[in-house]
Each structure stands twice: as C-alpha cells, then as structure tokens.
C-alpha cells in the first residue's frame, strides 16, 4: 500500500485508540461554533441561493439537512451546499504553511454523514481531528500552488480521511475512499487567479462533495486507482512531486480563527489599518505597505486587486481591504457590496499605495503574519507594525472571542445558543446542532 495512504490510516488508528487531547478538542469545538456563524452569514448569498435553486429538491439513499433549513438532500449535495455556506464569506479558519488553506472546510461533510446515524458530536470531533491533521500535514509538505494546483486538492484527501474514520472503514475500504476521492478531484489554481468568481467560495465544498461520493462507494466495496500517490501516473508524478507528510505532530492548535472576513494574509493589514484609522490626523497623501512574498503573490500583485469588480476579488485584495478599513473601519461581510467597489474614497486610497516585499518579513512567514503600514498625511506620518493579528495561533481566540464574533453576526441570544451547543459538542448529537441552526434562522426571519 502507498506510504502516504498507510500513514493516514495509522493516524486514524491512533485517534481511534487514544483519542485526541482536551486542548485539541476544545479548539475543534470552537470551529463547530465558527462554521455555524460563517454559514449563517452566507445563507442568503448568491452562490448559496443559486446552489439551492439548482440542486433542491434532492434525495438519495443517505440524506442530510441543509443548514438553517428543514430541507433534506443527499449527503453529497448537502455537503456542497453547507460547505459553500461555510466558506463563501472567507471567514472560516485558516492554516498557514507551504500551502495556505482552510481546515474547517472539512467539517460540513462530517456533520452531514453523521446525521441520522448513531454518531455523536464526539465522533464528528474525532473525524475532524483526522481531517485537520491530514490537511495540515500535506500543507506542511509541499506547496502545490506553485505547480498550478489549488489547495482544495488537499481538502479532497483530508475530507475523505475524516469521513472514512467516522464510518470506521476497514483498511482496504479506507484506502479506496482516499483513492476514489483524490483521483478525479484535482483542482486548478485558476480558481484564485485574476478576477475571482463565485467558484472561489465553493470549490472546497465541491471537493468535499466528491469525497462523500467516493467514500460511500468505497464503504460498499467499490475500488479506486492505486497506488494513488506513488503510482506511475499518481499524485507525486502529476501534482505534488515527492513528499513525506508528517501526521504525527498535532497541528490543530496552529490553525487560526478569522477576526475579519478577509483572506488571511490580509488579516494583520486589516487590524493595523483599523488601529491607524483611530489615530490618523489630516488628509492622507501616501500609504506605504511592507509585506512578504506570499501575500504579494496571492492578494496584491494582480492588477484586478487594484480595481476589484467582485466580492470574491475584493476580499482577496489587500489594497482594497486596507483602503476600505482606513475609510470606514473594520471590514464586515457587507464591506464588499457593489457600492463600495466603486467608492471614490476607497479607490483614491488604493491609488496612493506603494507595496514593498521585505526580506525580513519573508523570513518571519509563515510562523508570523507580518505587516507594516505607514500613512503620510498633510499633518504628519503615522505608522504601525504587527507580527500576528487577533485570532492567530500566537494570539488565539477564546470562547469569549467566539461569542463576540457570533454576536456580531447573529445577535446575542442566537449567539449564546450556538456557543452553548458547540461548547458541549462532545456530549451532543449532530441533530441538536442542526436544530439550533433552524431556530436561529427562524429568529432571523421573524425579526
């Protein structure tokens, strides 16, 4: 068997035998709350509504609830719709390494697969732990972005691993769940190049949809191409090159909850710009930004980032995010509405910006997320530097922070209900979480 497949199965065995640490479980419970919050905010977005209009009604042998509704759909369709909600606002958690990605993309398919069975919140948390360690271990091993492939290719692997763990598949069927989920699930990086489309917020959900499909087939004995990593035309040869991912060291506490709905490499910049806005005096004449190569590659260098035409491009534009924040304050989900994309004050500030990649900051990344912004006005110079923003693993979110984020998104009462269920999720069922979601939506509709 493939060495990588073997090592993933060994990781799963270890979680089944020894469980996960209380510290890791606590962080994963915070992610349960966080995906509920981010999904709530995205429910009425165009991609989610288009998806529901296109794919519902849906039914299959295995069915799951579409978040915040009473609708049932086949588990793979529910995974796509719920995953798109989780991801679309670019507000769910992040892991930074050779590849930057969003580990909580793996959670919606686990909730869907667990629903209606004899699975507990603890089972979902254990499956999520496997998915997190796999996707973070792959991220540490090789950047496939540099080869033209999107990071959600890794999510196809990690989501299949978590699902196979949840279903307690034997080694052979576990391996084939990986084989089937990876082979036809290689995603091109064009998703995040140039002007970004709705697919940016849905492509991880699609990876999970395909993993649900492959895992259910494997569960019933369907076989997939092998060896999937080391084969003549396998993953190493076609996608990643040789790699030796390490799944033995827990990475869960190195993942980071987002404090603002921005692409994570702009998180420090947003916080610094927010701080500067409170103390700048005078009319802005020039804005200098020091950053690092990866941020420049992903969210600065493309000309589309200077005049974003879509929400998806704007939340992946450091120039736009800094300009918006200096003009209006902290970024919110509505900060990318059409009226802001053409706002002359925002565009004028973008035109004042000068970006510089520094060797010092390149050396600090990805352990830190450094930025320095200097604003020159007609009354002086104002500057601030930051190495790690709120929510970074150096400054992790507390439960109070989770509650505050939830309150900003859904109001105090609903936020407390969500956090209460998430905080005790190992003793809850997936159905209890889904019921809270329906109640939150009912409250929204009656306000």
SS3 446: helix
Distance CA 31, CA 233 (A): 36
On whether both 240 and 269 belong to a single domain, the answer is no
Q: What is the pLDDT of residue 442?
A: 87
Given a contact cutoff of 8 angstroms between Cβ atoms, the answer to whether 154 and 136 are in contact is no
Angle between helices 399-410 and 412-423 (to 10 degrees): 140
Count how many domains the chain has: 2
Is 422 domain-assigned?
no
On whether both 275 and 180 belong to a single domain, the answer is no
Distance CA 432, CA 426 (A): 12
Please give the torsion angle defined by the CA atoms of residues 314, 257, 107 and 227, in that order, rounded to the nearest 10 degrees.
80
Distance CA 329, CA 326 (A): 6
Single residue among 206, 232, 254 that ends a domain in this structure = 254
**Residue 34, token pair as written in the block:** 């966080």
On whether both 70 and 183 belong to a single domain, the answer is yes
Give first-to-last CA distance, the chain, whole Å: 56
**Secondary structure string (H, E, C) spanning 298-344:** HHCCCHHHHCCCCHHHHCCCHHHHHHHHHHHCCCCHHHHCHHHHCCH
Q: What is the CATH number of the domain that holds 163?
A: 1.10.4100.10
Residue 147 CB coordination number (10 Å): 12
Tokens 């796999």, residue located = 134
On whether both 115 and 247 belong to a single domain, the answer is yes
The Cβ-side half-sphere exposure at 85, using a 13 Å CA radius, reads 26
Distance CA 433, CA 429 (A): 7
Tokens 């997320």, residue located = 369
Distance CA 145, CA 191 (A): 11
Give DSSP secondary structure letters for 129-174.
HHHHHHHHHHHHH--SGGGTB-THHHHHHHHHHHHHHHTT--HHHH
Q: What is the pLDDT of residue 447?
A: 65
Kindly state the greatest CA–CA separation across the chain.
72
Is 101 domain-assigned?
yes
Distance CA 54, CA 50 (A): 6
Distance CA 95, CA 69 (A): 30
On whether both 221 and 347 belong to a single domain, the answer is no
**Residue 22, token pair as written in the block:** 């209380």
Is 431 domain-assigned?
no
Is 298 domain-assigned?
yes
258, 262, 370: which is closest to 316 by C-alpha? 262
SS3 70: coil
On whether both 163 and 276 belong to a single domain, the answer is no
On whether both 13 and 151 belong to a single domain, the answer is yes
Q: What are phi and psi of 65, to 5 degrees?
A: -85, 135
Is 248 domain-assigned?
yes
pLDDT in tens, 122-162: 999 999 999 999 999 999 999 999 899 999 999 999 999 99
pLDDT in tens, 62-91: 999 999 999 999 999 999 999 999 999 999
Q: What is the pLDDT of residue 17?
A: 97
On whether both 191 and 250 belong to a single domain, the answer is yes
On whether both 209 and 290 belong to a single domain, the answer is no
Q: What is the pLDDT of residue 445?
A: 82
Ranges of the chain whose pLDDT falls below 50: none
Is 339 domain-assigned?
yes
| Burial bucket for residue 379 (CB in 10 Å: 0-12, 13-18, 19+) | exposed
**Strands 371-377 and 284-291, bridge-based pairing:** antiparallel
Distance CA 440, CA 136 (A): 32
Q: What are phi and psi of 16, to 5 degrees?
A: -65, -35
Single residue among 254, 287, 320 that ends a domain in this structure = 254
Is 243 domain-assigned?
yes
CA distances, 246 to each of 19, 128, 166, 394 (Å): 18, 17, 21, 22
Is 300 domain-assigned?
yes
Tokens 């439960």, residue located = 399
Q: What is the CATH number of the domain that holds 289?
A: 3.30.1330.120
For residue 294, give its domain range: 264-386
Single residue among 362, 386, 410 that ends a domain in this structure = 386
Distance CA 60, CA 79 (A): 13
On whether both 31 and 135 belong to a single domain, the answer is yes
On whether both 241 and 324 belong to a single domain, the answer is no
On whether both 143 and 228 belong to a single domain, the answer is yes
What ranges in 366-423 are assigned the alpha helix state H? 399-410, 412-423
Distance CA 218, CA 229 (A): 17
């Amino acid at each position: 068997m493939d060495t990588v497949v073997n090592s993933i199965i060994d990781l799963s065995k270890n979680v089944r035998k020894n469980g996960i640490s209380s510290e890791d479980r606590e962080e994963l419970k915070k992610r349960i709350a966080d995906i509920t919050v981010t999904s709530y905010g995205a429910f009425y977005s165009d991609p989610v509504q288009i998806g529901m209009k296109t794919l519902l009604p849906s039914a299959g042998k295995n069915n799951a609830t579409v978040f915040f509704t009473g609708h049932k759909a086949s588990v793979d369709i529910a995974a796509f719709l719920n995953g798109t909600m989780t991801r679309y606002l670019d507000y769910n958690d992040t892991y930074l390494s050779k590849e930057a990605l969003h580990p909580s993309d793996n959670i919606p398919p686990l909730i869907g697969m667990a629903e209606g069975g004899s699975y507990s919140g603890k089972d979902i948390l254990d499956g999520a732990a496997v998915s997190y360690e796999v996707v973070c271990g792959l991220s540490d091993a090789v950047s496939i972005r540099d080869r033209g492939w999107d990071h959600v290719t890794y999510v196809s692997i990690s989501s299949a691993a978590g699902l196979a763990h949840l279903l307690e598949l034997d080694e052979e069927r576990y391996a084939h769940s990986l084989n089937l989920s990876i082979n036809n699930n290689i995603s091109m990086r064009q998703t995040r190049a140039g002007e970004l489309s709705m697919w940016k917020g849905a492509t991880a959900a699609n990876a999970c949809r395909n993993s649900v499909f492959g895992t259910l087939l494997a569960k019933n004995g369907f076989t997939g191409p092998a060896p999937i990593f080391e084969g003549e035309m396998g993953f190493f040869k076609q996608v990643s090159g040789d790699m030796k991912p390490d799944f033995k060291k827990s990475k869960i506490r190195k993942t980071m909850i987002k404090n603002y709905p921005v692409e994570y490499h702009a998180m420090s910049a947003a916080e610094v710009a927010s701080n500067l806005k409170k103390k700048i005096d005078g009319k802005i004449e020039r804005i200098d930004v020091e950053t690092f190569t990866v941020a420049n590659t992903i969210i600065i260098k493309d000309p589309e980032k200077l005049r974003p035409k879509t929400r998806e491009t704007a939340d992946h534009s450091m120039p736009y995010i800094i300009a918006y924040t200096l003009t209006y304050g902290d970024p919110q989900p509505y900060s990318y509405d059409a009226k802001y994309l053409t706002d002359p004050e925002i565009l004028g500030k973008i035109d004042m910006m000068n970006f510089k990649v520094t060797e010092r900051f390149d050396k600090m990344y990805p352990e830190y997320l450094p930025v320095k912004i200097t604003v020159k006005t007609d009354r002086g110079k104002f500057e601030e530097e930051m190495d790690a923003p709120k929510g970074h693993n150096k400054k992790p979110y507390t439960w109070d922070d989770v509650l505050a984020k939830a309150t900003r998104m859904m109001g105090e009462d609903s936020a407390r209900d969500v956090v209460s269920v998430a905080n005790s999720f190992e003793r809850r069922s997936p159905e209890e979480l889904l019921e809270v979601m329906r109640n939150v939506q009912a409250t929204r509709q009656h306000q």
